[in-house]
Amino acid sequence: MKRETVIGLEVHVELATKAKIFCSCSTEFGGAPNTHCCPVCTGMPGTLPVLNKKVLEYAVRAGLALNCSINENNRFDRKNYFYPDLPKAYQISQLYLPFAQNGFVDIKTKSGVRRRICIHEIHMEEDAGKLVHFAKDNSTCTDYNRCGIPLLEIVTEPDFRTAEEVTAFLCKIKSVFEYLGISDCKMEEGSMRADVNLSVRPEGAVEFGTRTEMKNISSFRAIERAIAYETKRQTEVIENGGTIIQETRRWDDAKGQSISMRSKENAQDYRYFPEPDIPPVCISKEEIQHYKDICPEFADERAERFIREMNLSEEDADIISASKNLADIFEETVKICGAPSEVRFWFMSGLLYYMNESNTDACDIKLNPEKFAEFVNIVQSGKITRISGKQVFEKLLSGDDFDIMTFIKENHLEQVEDTGLIEEAVRSVISANPKAVSQYKNGETKILGFFVGQVMKKLKGKANPALVNKAVADWLDRTNNNIK
Amino acid sequence: MRRLNVSEMTALETGAAIRSGKITVVSAAEQVLDAAEKGNEKINAYITICREKALKRAAEVQKKIESGEFSSPLAGVPFSVKDNICTKGIRTTCASKMLENFEPVYDATVIKKLEAAGGVIIGKLNMDEFAMGSTSETSYFGPVRNPRNLSRVPGGSSGGAAAAVAGKMAVAALGSDTGGSVRQPASYCGVTGFKPTYGTVSRFGLIAYASSFDQIGPVARDAADCAAIMDIISGKDSMDSTSLDTECPGYLALLTGEVKGMKIGIPKECYRTPGLNPGTAEKTKYAADVLEKAGAVVEDVSLPFLDYAVPAYYIMASAEASSNLSRYDGVKYGYRSENFSSLSDLYSSSRSEGFGKEVKKRILLGTFVLSSGYYDQYYLKAQRVRAKIKKNFEEIFSKYDLILCPSVPDTAPETGKSLDNPLKMYLSDIFTVSANLAGLPAISFPCGNDSSGMPVGVQIIGKAMDDVKVLNAAHAYQKLTDFHKNFAEVKV
């Protein structure tokens, strides 16, 4: 029997406000333990929460960007449970009346599948602290720096069917939030966390199977692995006649397994009730309209514009526009140097490679558009080849301040256009490769590329490729003719 | 300098004497400190008396008064503070083992304001543990006694405040009122206690019992003192989201002592209350007569939901308390048990050992009414009753200025009799809780004694934000009567 996997997500996003949600402590990452706290976020007796208005602003803008309807009157509720990382023994969240409901996100997966993922609700809540374990003496300490960091929780409908759709959705959220400037959504740093609710059912069935919730998944790859594992696990249980227990499972990426934690919702009664210390939150129609008005152009629109105005391919446009930072660099550079396809070349071959190798997030790339444009002009003018250009580009990415032409001269990267030198190199390569010459004469004209490559190598990549090409072709023809 | 004893003076009189140089701030503080220390053995009104700190501060305040720095009429006056209000550097215990050695690193907003006005804090007052109680017998530091009669309770939960003011062991005090905790002990001890409109006085630094009910209020010798204290402690606070965005009207300045033309309603349901002390009924009628003679119009009104007020209150207040007290888990501050072998052990041992019986009872009750399956029947329903009570009051106040009724059905019970009869004890809150449910300003002031010689308190309730009207009516009454001038002699 064919089964399908049904997935819903609960995504937590840390908002990048300067201050925490209910007090004025700094949200800065890092910091020695318990140095970014105050009596309010550590739940000292007599303290009270006060909502940071910036959090509300970011929340509403996020809700609008994800096509939700905003509840002009919404409320906070207390979620009560005991745990050492929760100083008040309750988390201030929103259950009964979240600020946003009934939204959607349109996604396009890597393999081109287009889907609409519906959002059930989005609510504001405060983060808990961290428990730090010390293996040395088997002790655990609490660090409350993270207590009170503002979170948005995005709860989707169970609309996903594949891991690819899940990653496409998370990338979209990351892109939208980067465009809004409200979060950097870095899974590895914990500013975006996804809990995966998964169940399986026979294809075509209407009822949902029993679902499990997986927590502790901290990268896109881990999500793919976790979904694959849990689908397999649940399928095996069912096919062996067992039943799925509704529970929370911890994903262990090192072991590649999900491990049972506790029964979801059955054991814990959170005794939600309206938070009496915070009056109902009111957002006026005018404020909502204002946030709608200042909504930026998001990745999709920008990609379409790049395709229209700069002749980029759909694939390239999607990649470049996904990150606001990269798209800004791209657009600004093209504006200055007016050479979209050269800029695109360096983006796709140089920048993406660098990002992968150095594990740098797109929003952290520092590339000065003016310098980049200058560089592009220099390459286009023929002063250096693209091969030599790679070295210059790497230096540009490092963010160092330097003069490009000076760098080129100091490193002898100027393009070689001396036909004499080129001829000399061609002659030496051809005479060193008589077999290849015969192959060429026997009709394997593609061998030309081999010779060009060897000549470029001999000239340390600095020769004008067009000139080399011509010189090699000419020489081979002459040799041909000679023999003939 | 003529020998004044501020323990027998009102706060305003004390402030005036200090300002005119008839007594120094240090002398005033010393007098109250001496009286507090002397009387505390019998009355146990104080958990902490801060002699050294108070005298140091008094000397500083004296200098500042001489250089003209303070404008409040209460500058230099010694104040006593209920021990659930956080005072930086002075232990704040909530009369509980759980916070026996807790020293806050911040001042409550009202303390900041008090000190900015030149107040001198001389000690922290005993109370029912975590403000849960009506007799001040649940304190970890021993019960408080009523200075009028040592075999009677002073009321609760601000029993220490009322006993100290009545027993000449304090000039004026700050208490807290969640279901009557300022008004009921004021009534039992024969002093004046005021609960402001909810949101008028900041709750930041008030260790929470029931967040949507708690208000800090003055316990003092008369309504004028209460008004002067309100001028200091009230006002919008950015640290308390529930504090109201209104200008302080200048409570003391607006007292006229006139009630001509005021329409006062007496809920007819009060006189039918089971267990109503005949002395209480008589004194309430007497108070109504006095005000009528002074030009007020007194009529009967109806509070049909009065019977539901107590259950609604206990359900909601316990629910909020169960959540507010969850933070006392032995992890971060406060009492931590020495007997535990797991995390959940740590929690249950610390809380079982650190909390007293009444607190545990209310936490259990509160947890129950919030639990899944019971939330709708109890908590939600109580919320609806609360809304109905609010509406009932609004209807009455659309036609009347004030409501007059007894503060409590009976006078102070004997010690040791109440805790075993919790339902009776809870029901004695019947006249006070509705003001907390509806967030209304209410005052209790003395109007004579019952046949056993125990004080009777009468209550006036006003519309939300009509705090001045309420204080003024009591003030008018006190201009025409002498009951509030009666102090208790504590025989030591």
Within 8 A of B94 by CB-CB distance, chain A residues are 45
Within 8 A of B331 by CB-CB distance, chain A residues are 84, 87, 142
Q: In angstroms, rounded to a whole number, what is the distance separating the alpha carbons of residues A61 and A72?
A: 13
pLDDT, one tens digit per residue, over B214-251 is 999 999 999 999 999 999 999 999 999 999 988 888 99
Give the H or E element holding residue B288. Answer: helix B278-293
Interface of A with B (CB under 8 A): 39, 42-51, 78, 80, 82, 84, 87-90, 142, 269, 271-273, 276-279
Contact between B99 and A39 using a beta-carbon 8 Å cutoff: no
Answer whether residue B1 shows pLDDT above 50.
no
Amino acid letter at A440?
Answer: Y
- The Cα-based distances of A430 to A163, A206, A228, A322, A470 in angstroms read 53, 71, 54, 47, 14
Mean pLDDT, residues B81-89 taken together: 98
Within 8 A of A46 by CB-CB distance, chain B residues are 85-86, 92, 104, 106, 108, 204-208
* pLDDT score recorded for residue A264: 46
Mutate to test the interface with B, among A42, A48, A86 (most CBs of B within 10 A): A48
* pLDDT score recorded for residue A482: 65
Q: In angstroms, rounded to a whole number, what is the distance separating the alpha carbons of residues A270 and A96?
A: 13
Residues whose CB falls within 8 Å of the CB of residue A166, separated by 6 or more in sequence, listed in order: A7, A9, A160, A194, A196, A223, A227
Of A45, A272, A278, the CB nearest to B99: A45
Q: In angstroms, rounded to a whole number, what is the distance separating the alpha carbons of residues B446 and A422?
A: 112
Q: Are A89 and B329 in contact (CB under 8 A)?
A: yes
- Note if the bond before B157 is cis, omega within 30 degrees: yes
Q: Are A362 and A322 in contact (CB under 8 A)?
A: yes
Please write down the long-range contacts of B9-13, taking CB distance under 8 Å and 24 or more positions apart: B9/B171, B10/B171, B10/B172, B10/B220, B10/B221, B10/B222, B10/B224, B10/B225, B11/B74, B11/B77, B11/B171, B11/B172, B11/B220, B11/B221, B11/B225, B11/B228, B11/B229, B12/B73, B12/B74, B12/B224, B12/B225, B12/B228
Amino acid letter at B436?
Answer: N
pLDDT, one tens digit per residue, over B245-291 is 888 889 999 999 999 999 999 999 988 888 899 999 999 999 999 99
Nearest CA distance, B230 vs chain A (angstrom): 20
Q: In angstroms, rounded to a whole number, what is the distance separating the alpha carbons of residues A6 and A458?
A: 58
Nearest CA distance, B347 vs chain A (angstrom): 8
Q: CA nearest B379 in A: which residue?
A: A273
Of A45, A82, A276, the CB nearest to B329: A82
Contact between B327 and A50 using a beta-carbon 8 Å cutoff: no
Mean pLDDT of chain B: 95
Active site positions of B, annotated: 82, 157, 181
Q: In angstroms, rounded to a whole number, what is the distance separating the alpha carbons of residues A156 and A13?
A: 14
Within 8 A of A50 by CB-CB distance, chain B residues are 238-241
Answer whether residue B46 shows pLDDT above 90.
yes
- The Cα-based distances of A136 to A133, A139, A140, A144, B341 in angstroms read 9, 8, 10, 22, 19
Q: In angstroms, rounded to a whole number, what is the distance separating the alpha carbons of residues B54 and B474?
A: 32
Asked which of A215-229, A397-411, B63-77 is least confident by mean pLDDT, the reply is: A397-411
Joined together, the tokens standing for residue B308 give: 């539901």
Mean pLDDT, residues A220-231 taken together: 95
* Residue A480: pLDDT band with limits 50, 70, 90: low
Mean pLDDT, residues A301-314 taken together: 92
Contact between A45 and B379 using a beta-carbon 8 Å cutoff: no
Mean pLDDT, residues A317-343 taken together: 92
Closest CA to B114 of B205, B47, B13: B205
Burial class of B104 by CB neighbour count within 10 A (0 to 12, 13 to 18, 19+):
buried
Contact between B332 and A82 using a beta-carbon 8 Å cutoff: no
Contact between A80 and B326 using a beta-carbon 8 Å cutoff: yes
Residue with tokens 């949101």: B199
Contact between B86 and A46 using a beta-carbon 8 Å cutoff: yes
Mean pLDDT, residues A366-377 taken together: 92
Mean pLDDT, residues B390-417 taken together: 96
Percentage, residues of chain A above pLDDT 90: 66
Length of chain A: 484
- The Cα-based distances of B248 to B217, B244, B473 in angstroms read 15, 10, 19
Q: DSSP for A332-352?
A: HHHHHH--HHHHHHIIIIIIH
Chains A and B form CB pairs within 8 A to the count of: 98
Bridge partners (DSSP) of residue B87 are B90
Residue B66 Rama label (left phi>0; alpha psi -120 to 50; beta): alpha
Q: What is the largest CA-CA distance in chain A?
A: 101
Interface of B with A (CB under 8 A): 85-86, 92, 94, 99, 102, 104-106, 108, 203-208, 210-212, 238-242, 319-320, 322-323, 326-327, 329, 331-333, 343-344, 347, 367, 370-372, 375, 379
Answer whether residue A272 shows pLDDT above 60.
yes
Q: Report phi then psi at A462, rounded to 5.
A: -95, -5
Percentage, residues of chain A above pLDDT 70: 98
* pLDDT score recorded for residue A111: 92
Q: Which residue has the higher pLDDT, A41 or B487?
A: A41
* pLDDT score recorded for residue A44: 97
Q: In angstroms, rounded to a whole number, what is the distance separating the alpha carbons of residues A100 and A313?
A: 35
Contact between A271 and B331 using a beta-carbon 8 Å cutoff: no
pLDDT, one tens digit per residue, over B89-112 is 999 999 999 999 999 999 999 999
Q: pTM of the prediction? A: 0.90
Q: CA nearest B321 in A: which residue?
A: A276
Within 8 A of B322 by CB-CB distance, chain A residues are 271
Nearest CA distance, A113 vs chain B (angstrom): 42
Mean pLDDT, residues B141-147 taken together: 97
**Which of the 8 DSSP states describes residue A468?**
H
Length of chain B: 492
Residues whose CB falls within 8 Å of the CB of residue B246, separated by 6 or more in sequence, listed in order: B200, B236, B465
Contact between A271 and B92 using a beta-carbon 8 Å cutoff: no
* Residue A213: pLDDT band with limits 50, 70, 90: very high
Q: In angstroms, rounded to a whole number, what is the distance separating the alpha carbons of residues B234 and B114?
A: 10
Bridge partners (DSSP) of residue B121 are B79
* pLDDT score recorded for residue A472: 84
* pLDDT score recorded for residue A453: 87
